[in-house]
Structure 1
Amino acid sequence: MQNLEAIFSPQSVAVVGASTTPGKVGHDIFANILKGGYTGTLFPVNPKAKSILSVKAYPSLLDIPDPIDLAILVLPPKAALLAVEEAAQKGVKGIVIVSAGFREVGEEGRKIEDQIVAKCREAGIRLVGPNCLGVINPNPAVRMNASFSNRMPAPGHISFISQSGALCTSVLDFAAERDFGFSKFISIGNKADVDELDLLRYLHQDEDTQVIMIYLEELRRGPEFIREVKKITSGDRPTPVLVIKSGRTAAGAQAAASHTGSLAGSEAVYDAIFQQAGIIRVDSIEELFNFASAFASRKTATGNKVAIVTNAGGPGIVATDMTVSSGLQLARFQEETVEALVSHLPATANVHNPVDVIGDATQDRYENALEAVIKDENVDGALVILTPQSMTNALETAKAIVKIDKKTHKPILCCFMGIFDVSAGVKVLQENQIPVYRFPEHAAQAFGALYRYSAWLNRQHLAQFDLKHDTDKAREIIQKALDEGRRSLTEWEGGELLRCYGFQTLPSFIAKSRQEAVEYAQSLTFPVVLKIVSPQILHKSDAQGVKINLGSPEEVAAAYDEILANAKAYNPEAEIVGVLVQKMAPRGEEVILGMTRYPVFGPLLMFGLGGIFVEIFKDVVFRVAPIGRNEARRMVRGIRGYELLKGVRGRPATDTSSLERFLVCLSDLVLDHPEIKELDINPMLVHEAGQGATVADCRIILEPVDDAATS
């Protein structure tokens, strides 16, 4: 928060590098501030000019007689560094560096940028940029367009943050076409100092900002970002945050030894961060604006049951389809609602959802229908669709909708199809903060976003698990492997490690001979499983190193010989530690728990359907550690296969509460031991409710912390 007010609402601004030549950035930024009606005092700084646009110019910041809140620097890197030194002497509170040529171009630029940041921090100056479009505050009390976009947006209650300056200009054009207003508009460029999290904290406290939109290319903070933004999106004064993230389709998964690593592309990290922080991710600029309009109405959907009122069948059907695909349901009306509709609508009208008031509907018919459905206790909100007919009065219908909207806490979203015939009605709706769209699918998608955010705000909070772990023994197991120069644990060691963190594993022994294998198997009772144990053979099935359901000493002896032969054929150089003899796990549904470690973000946890199907179905969800019980529950319930775990077609319900506990244990394990680079527990067999879940197989990849830190 420190000094960000000086960047957004300065009493005085100096443009250092202001130019007398139209078309140059230094000229255009100065002109935009001047012509935009800035309410403070403006100073151009240029040692070679007497004046710029008839305003007296000064040779340097130090020559300006008045105090300066904000300095806009339009200078090459070395000159910008000198100007920052002068700004510190002058007592400037905030700096925006618009010009490029810093870390984005190479090592020399990075060094100068780092020097500038150090000087700003020493002087307590907040810095935006470099390499950015600038800052805009359309509030009538400020009216500052400190950017090189000559378009001053209308004032509003939505703030926009962008890493891309080029995108900002197209967003401003898009907003102007739709009469869309902003509270604050900022391009952050290289994020040398001020980043998204700083701005989110500031805008959350800003009374003019009701919704925050972000165009994001990459984050440089992980767990801290999640922790802080969760407070913003769900605290005492929740602020919805909508994000469009570049590169959704381009991100590939890492080359990895684990299923988790191969499935966890960088987009999985961002999806996890957004879900954990309560951020709503959108897919396009248009969707960003559509959703922001809905949130700016300040109404949330407490449920997902929607009523549709339309004067045309086709759009009503489209809206119905999109309602279902947006996670919503068509509300089933109460009997008294249907009676009210019958009394007000002609016999040809449809009085069940979606309500068709027929093409010749006047505003009275719309008003009566909307009033009836919005009062229904089974209805959580309404979509109103109007297509222009010869007898349709869009303006009066809009006024009727406004009247009803003021009497209800439920959201009403509108779709007025057409442009010229409905423009007067659209204007009235917009003036009264009622979201209005050109197409019914946009209204349905926006309503779905309102519902998802409401579900986030009203999510259940369970008491955390009381867990105790044997961290010392776990550290010994990991260190022993590293001391021996190994980068993976054997399955035996992996089981020992997991038991330190409360996991339920199967009784097992490592046999060094055929006779030991038979004796161990007899002590466990049949049937048993045999698996090759070798640091060089991680994917045991690929090496035909697993034999299951062995029911006699003879089968165990034969399987032992076959496994050793297969392993030597698969990798003649592999060190064979022995053969693991393991009790067959009791029946259960197969799931996978996993982790892969990312720079900046740390451990990324995975949960999903397991066994051989994990790579085929890819029905998995991710979260960034640490997680607690509540996030673990959302993970378990977040996969498509959750219905299978609940019990279907005669299959018993499984012990999903034990999965939640083990996910939290996994989070603790990988945070306590940063040497664990990748981990798969696959499959874990989850048994009937109350009977827990058993680790059937695990794979744990290590990396010394020093090596990991420099990789």
Structure 2
Amino acid sequence: MGLPIKLATEAKRAQGLDRLLDAKSVAIVGMSSKPQSAGQIVLKNLRENGFSGAIHLVGRTPGIIDGLDVITDMAELPPGVDLAVLTIPAASVEATLDACMARDVGSAIVFASGFAETGEEGRREQERIGARVHAGGMVVVGPNCLGFTNYAAGFSITFVGVNKVPAMPQGTRDAVAIVSQSGGLANHMRHGLNARGVAVSYNISTGNEMDLGLGDFVDHLVDDAATRVIMIYAEDIRRPDIFLAAAARARTMGKPLVMLFPGRSPHAQEAAKSHTGALAGDYAVMKAKVERAGVHLVDTLDEFMDVAEILSRYPAPSRGGLGILTFSGAFCGIAHDFCADMGVEIPALSPATEAELKALLPAFISPRNPIDLGTEAVWRPELVGAGVAALLKEPAIGAVAISIPIVSPAHAKAYVEQVVAARGESTKPVVMAMLGDQLPLPPEFVEIARASKVIVSRSSDRVLKALARIVRQPDPRPAPPAAAPMQGRDLPQGTLPEWLGKSLLAGEGIRIPGGRLVRTLDEARAAAEAIGYPVVIKAQAGALAHKTEAGGVILNLADADALSAAWATLHANIARAQPGLLLEGVLVEKMSPKGLELVVGGRRDPRWGPVVVIGLGGIMVEALGDVRLVAADASREEFVAEFGKLKASKLLYGFRNQPPVDVAAAADVAVAIGRLLLATPEITDVEINPLMVYERGHGAVALDALIVSAGS
């Protein structure tokens, strides 16, 4: 396809999204006279919502339904219809889409199941049809989806019940758009948001994503004036490049993305495959990539709803810790434990704020965060406002959580009025957790909260978790310039021998032990004399990835006699472990002093691209699995922060009289590994294990290197 034709096709597809979501003409294909058939329900929804555009019916039997002629040949369809709704079996989908393209239909939606969710054969069929559609310039939603609703236009295409679309108020600018690979869950989200007084602009079920995917819809909705937040339920992101580009644009436009993505467990991955035909991808890789792009990735349905609601009111919250106001000393301890588990700070108040509060509070109330007003607020509700105002002023506080009882209708009304006044125009989220479980909230309280867009919850735990998710989100960082692929590297295919891998690392500025590749014992003795004892010897061959297990590594050789004995032992070990293996040589290296063993590596995901892995090294990386996956283009500062999030991070900063280690040097190695992966597409895997890290200021040394290449 030539460039002008390709550009014209992409422009046509871009227009197709508008024609899909706000169609002015619709063709229902597969129309039946049965009252509860899918086609009938689609038609009734169009009628119920006052659709004023042209409606065309295509079926197997001619006739008249609801005053409209049923045609039996797609060739009779007028050219240029905006949207074709396919209420037909899977076997008829391909031919019908071809007929749609022949009639210049702008978009189509496919309800039918029977594609990727059925297995590999169905997946291949779906991909083949999707490629034909894409090349033809038409856009398609589905298959295996429930449809969509545009609440601004009152336009709904679905076969699940007939409903009047509630009109979204004119001028809405804080609505939430829902884009979901599950139509059922999307409806649950929509009902939940409406119950909270949050407007929904779009509810889109993408299903198996034969053509249009999550990223396409996100990119489109970023430009929607009514939409402030986009909620995404994903079981697989089939085009990470499109999704990440859309996420970057959303961040630039100040429109938060909140995503729920099951798949941390093997059972969740299997459930996704049978639901929407999603591939069982690597959750950890996805997490590293999307969070770096600014997506709020949540773990639970409750958090999904809570974070979306908060961001719809506060789309640009401050980063930092949590300010907490309560009437209970017990809750202060609970909050400290909860926040410590989530890795979020409860910052101390500044001396100026402490002094200001001390002048307002009784002597028996300590002016500190969390602020515990005890029972004093029962008699002096204005203290609630004073406490909230003080917390909001603190630069280190990014959001305020209020956990208080209802007390009485009058008290609840007074408290929410104080919160509204104290919040003013602050962009920092303020959320009230009204204790009492399912005890009804006073109507006056609810009315004031809704009118002032004060967020109210019945669970302190949910409030703390949602706010922690928001205030921990890192500040947006501009992506560094893409590394240009390196020229002139003629890497063999497969696992590189350690000596060659280390030469690549040294080229990236990574420190390696002094050493030399030798092929005879005499060369080994000369190398050891030049390097200085003690030394280590290592057998070298690309096919010998696990040298230690094969007896191919012998440490701490103190002199020439020890070296000679070890030389014979090493070759005997290799001959026994892998008979017939031809060594490229033996690496003689200076024996490095002991430090803290870390692992720094990376791998190239087939769809998501390269990520860097950091963690505790040696055998502990396999025993404990204490690793972090980080985007390959992360900065030194980001890697330092990620090292601090390891479960064993205490070992890095001085533990049991051990000195702090050089985390900055380890971060520099991680940056170099990311740079190597970005610049050398043929490298698929890198592992430095161990990276020996020494006392702060003394650097780090790569003691072993495993690099896998796909070949030049």
Equivalent position of 2:399 in the other structure: 381
Q: Does 1:399 align with 2:411?
A: no
Q: Which moved more, 1:555-564 or 1:585-594?
A: 585-594
1:311–1:361: 8 Å Cα contact kept in structure 2?
A: no
Q: Which moved more, 1:439-448 or 1:394-403?
A: 394-403
Measured after TM superposition, the shift of residue 364 of structure 1 is 3.9
Structure 2 distance, partners of 1:99, 1:265, is: 25
Structure 2 distance, partners of 1:14, 1:353, is: 61
Structure 2 distance, partners of 1:246, 1:398, is: 36
Equivalent position of 1:160 in the other structure: 178
Measured after TM superposition, the shift of residue 415 of structure 1 is 0.9
Alpha-carbon spacing, 1:320–1:302, altered in 2? closer, same or farther (3 Å): same
Alpha-carbon spacing, 1:320–1:26, altered in 2? closer, same or farther (3 Å): farther
Matches within 5 A, 1:278-427: 278-334=294-350, 337-338=353-354, 341=357, 351-359=367-375, 360=378, 363-376=381-394, 379-390=397-408, 392-417=410-435, 418-419=437-438, 421-422=440-441, 424=443, 425-427=445-447
Measured after TM superposition, the shift of residue 511 of structure 1 is 4.1
Tell me the TM-score normalized by structure 1. 0.84
Matches within 5 A, 1:534-545: 534-545=541-552
Task: Summarize deviations over 1:246-300 as a string: whole Å, max 9, x none.
Answer: 22111899xxxxxxxxxx9812211222222221211122210011111111254
Where structure 1 has 5 or more consecutive residues not aligned to the other structure, the ranges are: 254-263, 706-711
1:81–1:115: 8 Å Cα contact kept in structure 2?
A: no
Q: Does 1:198 align with 2:245?
A: no
1:611–1:682: 8 Å Cα contact kept in structure 2?
A: yes
Alpha-carbon spacing, 1:470–1:583, altered in 2? closer, same or farther (3 Å): farther
Q: Which moved more, 1:171-180 or 1:587-596?
A: 171-180
1:337–1:372: 8 Å Cα contact kept in structure 2?
A: yes
Structure 2 distance, partners of 1:659, 1:243, is: 31
- The counterpart of 1:9, out of the listed 11, 22, 25, is 22
2:485–2:679: 8 Å Cα contact kept in structure 1?
A: no
2:131–2:211: 8 Å Cα contact kept in structure 1?
A: no
Q: Which moved more, 1:282-291 or 1:571-580?
A: 571-580
Alpha-carbon spacing, 1:376–1:232, altered in 2? closer, same or farther (3 Å): closer
Structure 2 distance, partners of 1:71, 1:700, is: 51
Task: Summarize deviations over 1:17-71 as a string: whole Å, max 9, x none.
Answer: 3444343322223323332455655554445364545666555666567963222
SS at 1:611 equivalent: coil
1:527–1:583: 8 Å Cα contact kept in structure 2?
A: yes
- The counterpart of 1:246, out of the listed 262, 276, 287, is 262
- The counterpart of 1:213, out of the listed 215, 222, 231, is 231
Equivalent position of 2:567 in the other structure: 560
Measured after TM superposition, the shift of residue 651 of structure 1 is 5.7
Measured after TM superposition, the shift of residue 226 of structure 1 is 3.3
Structure 1 distance, partners of 2:167, 2:303, is: 20
Alpha-carbon spacing, 1:368–1:700, altered in 2? closer, same or farther (3 Å): closer
Alpha-carbon spacing, 1:432–1:517, altered in 2? closer, same or farther (3 Å): same
Measured after TM superposition, the shift of residue 615 of structure 1 is 1.7
Measured after TM superposition, the shift of residue 581 of structure 1 is 1.6
Measured after TM superposition, the shift of residue 528 of structure 1 is 0.8
1:136–1:185: 8 Å Cα contact kept in structure 2?
A: yes
Equivalent position of 1:142 in the other structure: 154
Q: Does 1:442 align with 2:449?
A: no
Task: Summarize deviations over 1:514-568 as a string: whole Å, max 9, x none.
Answer: 4443332122111111223344432222233322222222222222233333333
SS at 2:556 equivalent: strand
Equivalent position of 1:230 in the other structure: 248
Tell me the TM-score normalized by structure 2. 0.84
Structure 2 distance, partners of 1:355, 1:15, is: 61
SS at 1:681 equivalent: strand
Equivalent position of 1:504 in the other structure: 511
Alpha-carbon spacing, 1:616–1:40, altered in 2? closer, same or farther (3 Å): same
Alpha-carbon spacing, 1:371–1:499, altered in 2? closer, same or farther (3 Å): closer
SS at 2:15 equivalent: coil
Instruction: Tell me the amino acid that sits aligned with residue 562 of structure 1.
Output: T
- The counterpart of 2:287, out of the listed 271, 275, 288, is 271
Alpha-carbon spacing, 1:364–1:66, altered in 2? closer, same or farther (3 Å): farther
SS at 1:2 equivalent: helix
SS at 1:329 equivalent: coil
Q: CA RMSD in A?
A: 3.7
Alpha-carbon spacing, 1:654–1:379, altered in 2? closer, same or farther (3 Å): closer
Instruction: Tell me the amino acid that sits aligned with residue 621 of structure 2.
Output: V
Equivalent position of 1:696 in the other structure: 703
Measured after TM superposition, the shift of residue 102 of structure 1 is 3.4
Matches within 5 A, 1:465-614: 471-472=487-488, 474-475=489-490, 478-479=491-492, 482=493, 487-586=494-593, 588-614=595-621
Alpha-carbon spacing, 1:379–1:228, altered in 2? closer, same or farther (3 Å): closer
Alpha-carbon spacing, 1:526–1:108, altered in 2? closer, same or farther (3 Å): closer
Equivalent position of 1:258 in the other structure: none
Percent identity reads 27
Instruction: Tell me the amino acid that sits aligned with residue 34 of structure 1.
Output: R
Q: Does 1:100 align with 2:127?
A: no
Equivalent position of 2:146 in the other structure: 133
Matches within 5 A, 1:20-39: 20-38=33-51
Alpha-carbon spacing, 1:252–1:268, altered in 2? closer, same or farther (3 Å): farther
SS at 1:700 equivalent: strand
Alpha-carbon spacing, 1:51–1:367, altered in 2? closer, same or farther (3 Å): farther
Equivalent position of 1:708 in the other structure: none
Instruction: Tell me the amino acid that sits aligned with residue 219 of structure 2.
Output: R
SS at 1:99 equivalent: coil
Measured after TM superposition, the shift of residue 134 of structure 1 is 0.8
Instruction: Tell me the amino acid that sits aligned with residue 684 of structure 1.
Output: L
SS at 2:567 equivalent: helix
Structure 1 distance, partners of 2:578, 2:95, is: 63
Say how many residue pairs are matched: 679
1:560–1:579: 8 Å Cα contact kept in structure 2?
A: no
Instruction: Tell me the amino acid that sits aligned with residue 383 of structure 1.
Output: A
Alpha-carbon spacing, 1:302–1:171, altered in 2? closer, same or farther (3 Å): closer
- The counterpart of 1:188, out of the listed 193, 206, 209, is 206
Where structure 2 has 5 or more consecutive residues not aligned to the other structure, the ranges are: 1-13, 169-173, 270-279
Task: Summarize deviations over 1:582-636 as a string: whole Å, max 9, x none.
Answer: 1123554432222334322343431223223222332322235466667656655
SS at 1:205 equivalent: coil
Measured after TM superposition, the shift of residue 5 of structure 1 is 1.6
Structure 2 distance, partners of 1:42, 1:423, is: 48
1:252–1:266: 8 Å Cα contact kept in structure 2?
A: no
Instruction: Tell me the amino acid that sits aligned with residue 428 of structure 2.
Output: K
1:36–1:145: 8 Å Cα contact kept in structure 2?
A: no
